[in-house]
Structure 1
Amino acid sequence: MNIEELRIFALQLNDVTEGFPFGDDTLVYKVNNKIFLLVGLNAAVPSMNVKCDPEKALELREEFPGQVLPGFHMNKKHWNTIVFQGLKTSFLKQMIEDSYHLVAGKKK
């Protein structure tokens, strides 16, 4: 999955907005004014931060060491950093959808 494919996928989810609130090197996606996805644009290896159920977050880190990491600059209990390299597009899309649904149910 490349950045443009990620953009297309994320923006097709209901009520999603895209922006750069932290500067032009971090693409941020929100639903209900709450962040569910962050993508670093200047990284040598593409990655994203997604919200995750705490138990599932730990399971994924064990299953995919080096590819699923505690969320960079985020609450390590609730966020994972997912390194795209070596992971299937279907897995990446599922992580985005899971994050979206965790956040979409919460109103700000």
Structure 2
Amino acid sequence: MNIEGFRAYCLAKKGVTEEFPFDANTLVYKVMGKMFALTDLDNFESVNLKADPEQVMLLQERFSAVLPGYHMNKKHWISVMLDGTLKDSLICEWIDDSYNLVSASLPKKDREILKEL
């Protein structure tokens, strides 16, 4: 996966914005204002994604390219190394999971707005 593919995939989702809330290099994707994916724009070697806490350890055990979320809550976030060992389709599946987890936790009002988009 390259940065253009990652950006296009994230931005194609409903209610998503692309932001730089931390610095000029940390590219963050949010759904209705809540973060679901981030990466280093200049050094696109990994992406951080939200994950189901029950799956975090399983993913780390099964895939050497999945690490605890760098600078994130290790119970809820994973860092996916983009070292070529994972298929893009699997990374996209995890992006979907992250988006869906965050979307499901939005306040009811925001979930309703998201449905209408």
The verdict on a shared fold, with TM-score over 0.5 as the criterion, is: yes
Greater CA radius of gyration, 1 or 2?
2
| Deviation of 1:42 (Å) | 2.9
The equivalences for 1:30-69 within 5 A come to: 30-43=30-43, 46-65=45-64, 67-69=65-67
Q: Given that residues 32 and 106 in structure 1 are in contact (C-alpha distance below 8 angstroms), is that contact kept between their aligned partners in structure 2?
A: no
Point out the structure with the larger helix share: 2
Matched with 1:8 is: 8
Q: Does 1:96 align with 2:73?
A: no
Residue of 74, 80, 83 corresponding to 2:81:
83
Instruction: Provide the TM-score with structure 1 as the length reference.
Output: 0.93
TM-score (norm 2): 0.86
Question: Over the residues paired in the alignment, what is the CA RMSD in angstroms?
Answer: 1.1
- Match of 2:6, as an amino acid? L
Q: Which runs of 5+ in 2 are unaligned?
A: 108-117
Query: Which consecutive residues of structure 1, in runs of 5 or more, have no partner in the other structure?
Result: none
Q: Which amino acid aligns with 1:24?
A: A
